[in-house]
């Protein structure tokens, strides 16, 4: 059956699965999974243990997985996070295209976005083989380009997955926005953009944990865009600061 959705939107079950009442329990899951990962346990086995303990649904398990990280990876990500204006002006941005775009589309359409333990904003939507333009696509691209310009970086390069259907059409859409609002840009389609982003000498824009753990320098542009321009976004906080405010302990778990 063809995908006829007009919005990126929320999953029908998300209002129940990610209600304010569920937030402390899901946060405990993030803390416990992160504890296990910090001690060398595998993601699959640890996620099953934590998910089964709290009877999490598949989407709740995905949220816990995307929001968790080991202590070692948390420290590594904070070390490589770029906060220097001088570095911004001297380097180009390398944007993980679908990763950023779908997060902003989700936020604009009322879909759930997560703040993970590392403070990075992520969505639960994703792309599975085919990208479909929705009503939020052009507004999202416009917001992205506007915020890229505000960073005053040396230039910007967008990377999209070539195997994903409609990447060529999306490239054309983005090019129109960039031609009107930006200078020093390029759009590239790659069979494996992740491999490019982890090795590139640029400031990477992504929330993909595998990229953040290996790239030289990164920023979380999605968080800035949502905070500054999408005041009604549905943000579900599972950050380290939220975990600390809850004062969760692992005595019972250990």
The torsion of the CA quartet 37, 43, 45, 47, rounded to 10 degrees, works out to 90
Is residue 85 predicted with pLDDT exceeding 50? yes
pLDDT of 1 higher than 70: no
Question: Which residue is listed with tokens 């999306």?
Answer: 170
CA distance 221 to 238: 18
pLDDT band per the 50, 70, 90 thresholds, residue 251? low
User: Average pLDDT for residues 32-49, to the nearest whole number?
Assistant: 97
Phi first, then psi, for residue 126 (nearest 5°) are: 80, 170
Instruction: Give strand ranges (E) for 164-226.
Output: 185-190, 203-205, 218-219
pLDDT in tens, 114-169: 999 999 999 998 777 889 999 999 999 999 999 999 998 999 999 999 999 999 99
Q: How confident is the model at residue 2 (pLDDT cuts 50, 70, 90)?
A: very low
Give the pairing type, strands 155-161 and 185-190: parallel
Mean pLDDT in residue range 205-234: 96
> Whole-prediction pTM value?
0.92
Between 25 and 89, whose confidence is greater?
25
Beta bridge partners of 160: 189
What is the predicted pLDDT for the residue at 253? Answer: 55
């Amino acid at each position: 059956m063809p995908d006829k959705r007009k919005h990126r939107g929320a999953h029908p079950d998300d209002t129940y699965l990610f209600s304010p009442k569920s937030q402390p329990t899901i946060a405990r899951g993030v803390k416990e999974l992160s504890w296990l990962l910090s001690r060398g346990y595998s993601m699959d086995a640890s996620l099953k243990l934590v998910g089964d303990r709290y009877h999490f649904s598949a989407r709740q398990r995905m949220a816990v997985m995307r929001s968790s990280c080991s202590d070692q990876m948390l420290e590594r990500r904070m070390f490589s996070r770029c906060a220097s204006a001088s570095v911004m002006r001297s380097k180009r941005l390398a944007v993980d295209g679908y990763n950023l775009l779908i997060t902003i589309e989700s936020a604009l359409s009322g879909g759930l976005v997560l703040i993970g333990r590392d403070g990075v904003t992520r969505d639960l939507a994703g792309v599975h083989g085919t990208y479909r333009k929705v009503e939020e696509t052009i507004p999202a691209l416009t917001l992205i380009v506007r915020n890229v310009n505000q960073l005053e970086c040396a230039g910007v390069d967008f990377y999209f997955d070539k195997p994903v259907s409609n990447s060529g059409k999306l490239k054309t859409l983005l090019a129109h926005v960039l031609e009107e609002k930006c200078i020093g840009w390029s759009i590239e389609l790659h069979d494996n953009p992740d491999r490019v982003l982890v090795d590139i000498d640029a400031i990477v824009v992504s929330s993909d944990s595998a990229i953040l753990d290996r790239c030289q320098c990164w920023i979380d542009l999605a968080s800035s865009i949502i905070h500054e321009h999408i005041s009604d976004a549905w943000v579900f906080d599972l950050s380290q600061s939220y975990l600390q405010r809850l004062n969760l302990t692992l005595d019972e778990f250990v």
